[in-house]
Amino acid sequence: MIIQPIIDLVAICARKDVKNVILSPGSRCAPLTLAFARHPDIHCRSISDERSAAFVALGMAQQLKKPVVLVCSSGTAALNYAPAVAEAYFQQIPLVVITADRPPEWIDQWDGQTIRQQNIYGRHIKQSFDFPDHFGHTDIVWHAHRIGNEAINIASNFPEGPVHINIPIREPFYPEDLEEFDFNRPIPIVNKLDTCTKLSSESVVKLKNELERFHRIVIIPGQQAPDQSILGLLNQLASQQKAVVISDTISNMQAGNTITHHDQILPAVDHAAFSPDLIISFGKSIISKPLKNFLRSSGAEHWHIQPAGYSPDTYQGLVKIIPSSVKDTLELLVQSTHKIDEAFHHRWYHADKRMEKAIQNVMEQGDFGEWKAIYRVLQQLPQQSKLHLANSMAVRYVNFLGARPQEIICNRGTSGIDGSNSTAVGCTFTTKEFVTLITGDMAFFYDRNAFWNNYTTNNLRIILLNNHAGGIFRIIKGPSQQPELKEFFETTQSLNAENLAKDFEFDYTAVKTEKELNDGLLGFYAPSIRPKIIEVFSDSTKNAAILSKVKSALKGFMDVEK
Same domain flag for 74 and 153: yes
Query: How many Cα atoms are found within 13 Å in the side-chain-facing hemisphere of 166?
Result: 22
Amino acid, single-letter form, for residue 451: F
The DSSP code for 256 is: T
Residue 103 is given by DSSP the state -
Within 13 Å, how many C-alpha atoms sit on residue 3's CB side? 20
Q: Is residue 389 part of a domain?
A: yes
Instruction: Indicate whether 234 and 145 sit together in one domain.
Output: no
What is the enclosing helix (H) or strand (E) of 329? helix 326-335
Q: Considering only CA atoms, which of 121, 115, 122, 129 is closest in space to residue 75?
A: 115
Give residue 1's pLDDT. Answer: 63
- 373 and 498, same domain (yes or no): yes
- In a domain, residue 257? The reply is yes
Q: What is the pLDDT of residue 489?
A: 65
The confidence score (pLDDT) of residue 120 equals: 96
* pLDDT for the residue numbered 549: 82
DSSP string, 41-76: T-EEEE-S-HHHHHHHHHHHHHHHSS-EEEEE-STH
The verdict on 427 and 458 lying in the same domain is yes
SS3 207: helix
The contacts of residue 339 (CB under 8 Å, 6+ apart) are: 241, 242
Residues 329 and 250 in one domain: yes
pLDDT for 471 = 56
For residue 151, give every residue at least 6 positions away whose Cβ sits within 8 Å of its Cβ, in sequence order, or none: 96, 127, 129, 163, 165
Mean of pLDDT values over 515-523: 96
Structural domain contains residue 186 = no
What CATH number does the domain containing 122 carry?
A: 3.40.50.970
Distance CA 276, CA 214 (A): 9
Do 164 and 222 sit in the same domain of this protein?
Answer: no
DSSP state of 473: G
Tally of structural domains, the chain: 3
Residue 418, pLDDT above cutoff 60? yes
Find the mean pLDDT for residues 367-380: 93
Range of 76's domain?
4-168
Residue 334 buriedness (CB in 10 A; 0-12 / 13-18 / 19+): middle
- Residue 479 is predicted with a pLDDT of 63
pTM: 0.93
Residue 13 is assigned to a structural domain of this protein: yes
Q: Which segments within 274-402 are labelled E, that is strand?
A: 278-282, 301-305, 318-322, 386-389
Q: Would you say residue 113 has pLDDT above 90?
A: no
What pLDDT sits at residue 474? 58
Residue 175: inside a domain: no
Helix (H, G, I), strand (E, B) or coil at 451: helix
Please check whether residues 245 and 332 belong to one and the same domain. yes
With a cut of 90, say whether residue 299 has pLDDT above it.
yes
User: Is 441's pLDDT higher than 90?
Assistant: yes
If one compares 465 and 552, the residue with the highest pLDDT of the two is 465
CA distances (Å), origin 247, targets 103, 143, 174, 281, 464: 50, 46, 53, 10, 26
- Give the C-alpha separation, 532 to 220, whole Å: 36
* pLDDT value of position 476: 62
Are 350 and 381 part of one and the same domain? no
Top-confidence residue, 318 or 172? 318
End of a domain among 148, 168, 188? 168
In a domain, 128, yes or no: yes
427 shares a domain with 403: yes
* pLDDT score for 488: 62
Domain-ending residue, one of 321, 354, 387: 354
Q: Could you give the C-alpha distances from 498 to 20, 52, 495, 519, in angstroms and in order?
A: 32, 21, 9, 18
pLDDT in tens, 445-476: 999 999 999 999 999 999 999 988 755 665 66
Identity at 510, one-letter amino acid code:
A
Minimum mean pLDDT among 121-125, 363-367, 495-499: which range?
363-367
Q: Which residues are CB-neighbours of 234 under 8 A, at least 6 positions away?
A: 219, 221, 245, 247, 253, 255, 257, 258, 330
| pLDDT tens per residue, range 185-215 | 999 999 988 777 888 899 999 999 999 999 9
What are the C-alpha distances in Å from 311 to residues 219, 283, 300, 344, 413?
16, 10, 17, 28, 15
Q: Is residue 262 part of a domain?
A: yes
Average pLDDT over residues 473-496: 69
What percent of the chain shows pLDDT beyond 90?
Answer: 78
Which helix or strand (DSSP H or E) is residue 409 part of?
Answer: strand 407-409
Q: Indicate if 59 and 153 belong to the same structural domain.
A: yes
pLDDT, residue 136, reads: 85
179 within domain boundaries: no
- pLDDT recorded at residue 544: 82
Q: Examine the domain organization and report whether 145 and 241 are in the same domain.
A: no
Instruction: Give the pLDDT of residue 340.
Output: 94
For residues 23 and 143, state if they share a domain. Answer: yes
How far is it, in rounded angstroms, from Cα 116 to Cα 104?
9
Residue 525 pLDDT exceeds 90: yes
Of 260, 239, 243, the C-alpha closest to 251 is 260
554 pLDDT more than 90? no
Q: Which of 150, 168, 186 is the last residue of a domain?
A: 168
Task: Report how far residue 116's alpha carbon sits from residue 39's, in angstroms, rounded to the nearest whole number.
Answer: 30
Are 151 and 129 in contact by the 8 Å Cβ rule? The answer is: yes
- Alpha-carbon distance 258 to 476, whole Å? 28
Q: Amino acid identity of 420? A: S
Q: How confident is the model at residue 490 (pLDDT cuts 50, 70, 90)?
A: low
What per-residue confidence (pLDDT) applies to 173?
82
The enclosing domain of 232 has a CATH number of 3.40.50.1220
CA distance 540 to 490: 9
Q: How confident is the model at residue 279 (pLDDT cuts 50, 70, 90)?
A: very high
Distances (CA, A) of 433 to 5, 93, 266, 528: 39, 21, 36, 12
Mean pLDDT of all residues in the chain? 92
